[in-house]
Structures are given as structure tokens and as C-alpha cells.
């Protein structure tokens, strides 16, 4: 089995989606937690970096078809408008403003309808995962109960906005690094109804968690790590123009 057999819509799900709030309370307390998390995850330096173009690379294994398939992913972003991910030997997904498309050996697919909105949602939530965007008043934050993650206690917040899904963040209670994000996703392997997606993070690079593990519907779906990160990268604008 190889990546050419993997559905392009599957790879759209590598990004972030949301989960409805449950038991949330205390906007002020949630914002205090967020500020501690921003400080722990890079602080003002990270905020400045987020305003510049960036590139990064991940390696890992995909388990959605049963057996593990190694992959290498290269990513580029100029937040919040440009986002591009290339899974080597398989496909490239690009979001630019209110447009998105998928390029693969099978050809070019310009996304529309539900697929387009899902891709844009994935991009918005990938941006929100950087934490600083949650300081915008467009987001409503609420305190939620923490949980034990990898044997450590966490504190949690839920974030919601008018357009898009909610998302839950869990931060290590001592370090305030991101420990877990809970979401709901629509996965082709699980039918048309959303399933629980649990993202676990350990370690940290300069601007992002170092290692991750994604659990879909209680089964391992992806695991990998960030192996390179470049801030202030030079991006080719043509890569973010809608193909003719």
C-alpha cells in the first residue's frame, strides 16, 4: 500500500477541527490560562514569528488503512490566509483566502461546497492551534475541567467563534505546554458522521510541539514529529494562486 491509494479527503483531516464545549465556565479565568500557555509556548517572540511566513517539515506514520504507511510532509503558511501542505509522493493541499484545491498524480481538484468549507475550517483551526489567535475577541473562551494526560494533570479551555467549530485545549498544569487537543472530525474511514479526534503532544520545537499522536475514534490514526522549522521563510506567491 502507498500514499497514492489514500483518499485526498483523508489528508484534509490532518489539520485541526473542533468539539462542542461541555461544562465550560469563566471567560476571564480561561484568558488567564491562555496567557500562561502563550508565555510557555514562546511568548512575545512566538507572536512576532507568527506574523511572518514560515515553513516546516514532519515525518511520521499513517495508520488509517490498517497497516502503517510512512510519510514525509512539508508545510508552508502565511497566517491566516495562506496554507499549503505537501505529502511527498501523494498530493498537495493548498488554501488561499476563501479558495482551496488539491493537486495529485490524478490531477487537480478545485474544492467547493462542503469540501471547501471543511478545508477552510481546517486552516482556521490550524491557525487557532498557534494560541495567539485565541486572544482575538472573535473567540469566546471558557474554562473547562482538566484531565490526566500521559500521567500528568492538565488545565483546560474551550474556544468558540461565530464561524467554525469549537475546540478544546488541555495544557500541562505545571509547564502550560500543549498536552492535548480534542476535536470532532469527519473521516472517510469512519463514515459521514463526525468522530472524536484526540491529538496528544509532547516536547516542543521553537514554535510548535515536537511530537504528536492522533487518535480517531479511539484508534491510532497518525503519529509523527516536527523535524525542521523555518521562520521568515521565502514563499512563492504563485503557489497560492488558484490554478487555471
Most confident of 5-9, 117-121, 185-189: 117-121
Residue 42 has pLDDT above 90, yes or no: no
User: pLDDT digit string (tens) for 92-114?
Assistant: 999 999 999 999 999 999 999 98
pLDDT for the residue numbered 26: 52
What is the pLDDT averaged over residues 122-146? Answer: 89
What is the pLDDT averaged over residues 151-170? Answer: 93
What global pTM score does this model have? 0.84
Domain residue spans in the chain? Answer: 3-237
What is the pLDDT averaged over residues 180-190? Answer: 81
Residue 10 has pLDDT above 80, yes or no: no
134-143 contact pairs (CB < 8 A, 24+): 134/34, 134/159, 135/31, 135/34, 135/38, 138/162, 140/27, 141/27, 141/30, 141/31, 141/34, 142/21, 142/24, 142/25, 142/26, 142/27, 142/30, 143/24, 143/25, 143/26, 143/27, 143/29, 143/30, 143/33
Arch. (CATH architecture) of 3-237: Clam (2.50)
Amino acid at each position: 500500500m502507498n500514499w497514492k491509494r489514500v483518499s485526498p479527503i483523508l489528508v484534509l483531516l490532518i489539520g485541526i477541527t473542533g468539539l462542542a464545549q461541555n461544562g465550560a465556565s469563566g471567560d476571564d479565568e480561561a484568558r488567564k490560562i491562555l496567557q500562561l500557555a502563550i508565555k510557555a509556548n514562546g511568548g512575545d517572540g512566538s507572536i512576532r514569528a507568527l506574523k511572518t511566513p514560515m515553513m516546516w517539515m514532519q515525518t511520521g506514520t499513517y495508520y488509517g488503512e490498517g497497516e502503517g504507511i510512512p510519510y514525509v510532509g512539508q508545510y508552508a503558511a502565511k497566517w491566516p490566509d495562506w496554507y499549503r501542505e505537501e505529502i511527498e509522493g501523494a498530493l498537495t493541499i493548498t488554501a488561499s483566502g476563501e479558495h482551496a484545491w488539491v493537486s495529485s498524480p490524478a490531477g487537480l481538484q478545485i474544492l467547493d461546497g462542503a469540501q471547501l468549507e471543511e478545508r477552510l475550517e481546517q486552516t482556521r483551526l490550524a491557525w487557532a492551534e498557534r494560541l495567539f489567535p485565541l486572544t482575538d475577541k472573535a473567540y469566546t473562551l471558557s474554562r473547562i475541567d482538566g484531565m490526566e494526560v500521559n500521567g500528568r494533570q492538565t488545565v483546560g479551555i474551550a474556544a468558540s467563534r461565530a464561524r467554525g467549530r469549537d475546540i478544546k485545549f488541555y495544557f500541562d498544569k505545571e509547564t502550560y505546554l500543549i498536552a492535548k487537543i480534542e476535536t470532532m472530525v469527519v473521516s472517510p474511514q469512519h463514515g459521514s458522521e463526525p468522530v472524536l479526534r484526540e491529538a496528544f503532544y509532547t516536547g516542543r520545537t521553537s514554535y510548535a510541539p515536537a511530537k504528536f499522536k492522533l487518535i480517531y475514534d479511539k484508534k491510532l490514526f497518525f503519529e509523527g514529529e516536527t523535524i525542521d522549522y523555518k521562520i521568515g521563510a521565502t514563499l512563492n506567491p504563485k503557489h497560492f494562486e488558484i490554478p487555471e
